[in-house]
Amino acid sequence: MSQAIERARTYLKPLKKLPTVWCGGCGLGVVLSSLTRVMAEMGLDKNKTATISGIGCTGRLPTYIDTNTLHTTHGRALGFATGVKLANPELTVITAMGDGDSVAIGGNHFIHACRRNIDITAIIVNNCIYGMTGGQYSPTTPHGKRGTTAPYGNVEYEFDIVSLAAGAGATFVARTTVYHVRELDKLLERAIRHRGFSVVEVVSNCYTSYGRLNKFSGPVDMFKWMKESAVTVKQAGEMSPEELEGKFIRGIHVEKDQPEFIDVYDKLAQDLTKGPSTVNQKLRATIEGYEQLGDKLKAGIG
């Protein structure tokens, strides 16, 4: 056990960055520990892994992780991640985003990354609120729940991130909570191993900004809510719509094989450059140029 913790710890940056900026009781620490544990168990090469984020509480997550990291602008983690992956397809690319980051300001990037099926893992920590800026309601704040900009309850309706990702074409879609830690480990590993665009929605708790406004007595109360409200895919299959009222479904929702974007692209390039025509020669020269650039980039990163 302690060896596993020691291994996970090697994926954290030197301790001067700790403690984290997150409030006491926040679920993001659970996500950070789970991700580093999974990285250690998988033996991911730090120099061949890139952890990328946007803005917000979750945006701070790569600050603590000792891989290549890129802290970008609000909503654009997937845009930057797509560039990183295209420039160096050998990298394992993981993005960490909050609900505001991924499905509000970055919503368009999100659905198109799903559609494109590029080999990136998107971890979405959904705490149902804009936490860092003080509790404004977000696109995942449930209808009727309170935010500081919805003091009498949210009049809008929330996104279901799993349905959104599935509808947009993501080939691996899962959901769990920060209470279900072992499942979180398992799902993160499955998502990282999945060849294609994978989404893991991690339902989390923001007691500071969301819990206090919505009659939770403390962070533990919010963990209890997750324990009681999250039902497995299997359990849900046996429950009536009435029984499912107020519940959400955890586990793997989508897992399918579909050719990955870079694989398709490479195959197309190979097919097009067969044969002796001038066009093909030019294409070959262009591709070789990109490959040389890629080698230079890799040398720089290594």
Q: Contact residues for other proteins (CB under 8 A)? A: 55, 71, 73-75, 104-105, 107, 130, 132-134, 136-137, 139, 148-149, 151-152
To other proteins, the closest distance from the beta carbon of 16 in angstroms equals 17
Return the number of the residue (151 or 302) whose C-beta is nearest other proteins: 151
**Tokens describing residue 42:** 């998988």
To other proteins, the closest distance from the beta carbon of 145 in angstroms equals 14
Return the number of the residue (22 or 130) whose C-beta is nearest other proteins: 130
To other proteins, the closest distance from the beta carbon of 106 in angstroms equals 8
To other proteins, the closest distance from the beta carbon of 148 in angstroms equals 6
**Which residues share a beta bridge with 172?**
198, 255
To other proteins, the closest distance from the beta carbon of 271 in angstroms equals 39
Identify the DSSP state of 47.
G
CA distances from 272 to 55, 94, 119, 280, 302 (A): 40, 31, 23, 7, 31
**Tokens describing residue 251:** 């586990």
Distance CA 46, CA 62 (A): 13
Return the number of the residue (133 or 277) whose C-beta is nearest other proteins: 133
The residue written with tokens 């040389």 in the block is 292
What b/e sequence results for 9-31 when a residue is b if at least 16 CB atoms lie within 10 Å of its CB, and e otherwise? eebbeeeeeeeeebeebbbbbbb
Return the number of the residue (129 or 202) whose C-beta is nearest other proteins: 129
To other proteins, the closest distance from the beta carbon of 81 in angstroms equals 16
Q: Name all contacts of 141-144 with Cβ < 8 Å and 24+ positions apart.
A: 141/210
- Dihedral over Cα of 283, 285, 286, 291: its sign: positive
